[in-house]
């Protein structure tokens, strides 16, 4: 009888010890899970604090000041090669129709794209950022908004019917900032959209594909020195073409004044024919249709027409184009 009682007592003690051990393991496992959750919460809070700091002073590494009055900020220096992160974007409008492109228009530089919208259409912020300028320009942009973003870009939205934001307001990508309109120097309702880096205009078509409602790539590499060099080369090329044309005109005028001989006429005709003959350009790494057209003194439309390609066509290094 005594032995039986001892066995039962020992069994009860062993069972109790097993239960205590299991409970301890559960507590440790639960504690580990709680620790991970606390770590995750701390990480989320840290990211949130960092993001808020970036939004309060977006792209402070590029821009040395904050100005609520100037349309195009020039208070910054851009590295020769600057990587712009285009992820997390939102198309400013669902419209796919581009009515006017970037480049020379009406004897002056058109620094953005004109997108067809109607009065009252919602216009949205392209990226997270902070509202820098909210103003009205009677002889230009009409009601317009400028946003400085955390990726280094500034975007400008012009000819708005109405502002929906105020200066120094923090906005997220896709947040409504205004309504489409026809204010300022405008001949019809549309959105004038610009993308700038430290005051330097970048063709929005290199970043945004409005017909397909998407970005061109996840990143865009801005190469300031190369672009400036191409612009100088293009200017020199245009001057050279103009001088050549003047020389040909002078030669023809001189030939008309002298006794007309078949040899002189043939020589002048050959020079004119050679000047009109298309030349071939071999695409180099980093070239774009815009830079090639500008270098050869022609429009992108004419370049594409001469080569039988679309303006959205992709070109590759080594490809030959008629100019």
Q: Distance (Å, rounded) from C-alpha 305 to C-alpha 68?
A: 43
Among residues 198, 86, 192, 66, the alpha carbon closest in space to that of 133 is found at 66
How far apart (Å, rounded) are the C-alpha atoms in residues 232 and 226? 10
| The residue to which tokens 């409504």 are assigned | 176
Task: Give pLDDT tens digits along the chain (323 positions).
Answer: 555 655 555 555 555 555 545 455 565 556 666 666 655 555 445 445 555 667 898 998 889 889 998 888 766 677 678 999 999 999 999 999 999 999 987 778 899 999 999 999 999 999 999 999 999 999 999 999 999 999 999 999 999 999 999 999 999 999 999 999 999 999 899 999 999 998 899 999 999 999 999 999 999 999 875 444 444 444 455 555 556 666 666 666 655 554 544 555 565 556 555 555 568 888 888 888 888 888 888 888 888 888 888 888 888 888 888 88
- pLDDT value of residue 100: 92
**pLDDT for residue 227:** 46
What secondary structure does DSSP assign to 124-163, as a single string?
E-SSSEEEEEEEEETTTTEEEEEEEETTS-EEEEEEESEE
How many residues make up the chain in this entry? 323
Smallest Cα–Cα separation from 73: which of 63, 60, 59? Answer: 63
What is the model's pTM? 0.57
The DSSP line for 9-40 is: HHHHHHHHHHHHHHHHHHHHHHHHHHHHHHHH
Q: How far is CA 19 from the centre of its chain?
A: 64
Q: Is the domain 278-323 a CATH 2.60.15.10 member? A: no
* Contacts of 223-226 spanning 24+ positions with Cβ under 8 A: 223/80, 223/81, 223/286, 224/78, 224/79, 224/80, 224/82, 224/200, 225/80, 226/80, 226/286
> Helices marked H in 185-299 — which ranges?
224-257, 262-276, 289-295
How many Å apart are CA 153 and CA 277, to the nearest integer?
A: 42
The pLDDT, as a whole number, for residue 283 is 84
CB 166 within 8 A of CB 130: no
Tokens 């040899």 belong to 263
> C-alpha distances in angstroms, 66 versus 57, 58, 60, 82, 285?
9, 10, 9, 21, 36
Per-residue pLDDT at 260 = 46
Helix (H) or strand (E) holding 48: helix 2-56
Q: Which pLDDT belongs to residue 304?
A: 87
| Alpha carbon distance 137, 159 (integer Å) | 9
Q: In whole angstroms, what is the distance from residue 124 CA to residue 116 CA?
A: 15
CATH topology of domain 81-217: Glucose Permease (Domain IIA) (2.70.70)
pLDDT of 228 reads 43
């Amino acid at each position: 009888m005594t032995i039986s009682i001892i066995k039962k007592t020992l069994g009860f003690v062993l069972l109790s010890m097993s239960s205590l051990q299991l409970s301890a393991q559960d507590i440790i496992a639960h504690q580990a899970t709680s620790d991970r959750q606390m770590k995750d919460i701390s990480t989320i809070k840290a990211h949130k604090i960092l993001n808020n700091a970036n939004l309060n002073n977006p792209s402070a590494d590029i821009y040395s000041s904050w100005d609520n009055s100037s349309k195009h900020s020039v208070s910054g220096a851009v590295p020769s090669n600057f990587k712009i992160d285009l992820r997390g974007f939102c198309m400013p409008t669902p419209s796919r129709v581009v009515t006017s492109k970037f480049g020379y228009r009406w004897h002056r530089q058109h620094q953005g794209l004109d997108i067809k919208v109607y009065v009252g259409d919602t216009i949205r912020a392209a990226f997270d950022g902070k509202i820098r300028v909210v103003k009205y320009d009677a002889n230009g942009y009409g009601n317009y908004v400028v946003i400085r973003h955390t990726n280094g870009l500034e975007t400008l939205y012009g000819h708005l019917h109405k502002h929906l934001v105020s200066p120094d307001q923090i906005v997220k990508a896709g947040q409504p900032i205004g309504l489409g309109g026809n204010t300022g120097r405008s001949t019809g309702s549309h959105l004038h959209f610009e993308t700038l880096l430290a005051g330097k205009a970048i063709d929005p078509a290199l970043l945004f594909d409005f017909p397909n409602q998407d970005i061109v790539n996840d990143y865009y590499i801005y190469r300031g020195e190369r672009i400036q060099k191409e612009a100088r080369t293009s200017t020199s090329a245009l001057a050279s073409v103009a001088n050549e044309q003047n020389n040909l005109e002078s030669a023809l005028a001189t030939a008309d004044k002298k006794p007309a001989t078949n040899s002189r006429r043939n020589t002048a005709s050959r020079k004119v024919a050679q000047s009109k003959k298309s030349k071939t350009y071999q695409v180099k790494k980093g070239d774009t249709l815009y830079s090639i057209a500008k270098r050869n003194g022609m429009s992108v439309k004419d370049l594409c027409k001469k080569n039988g390609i679309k303006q959205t066509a992709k070109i590759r290094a080594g490809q030959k184009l008629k100019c």
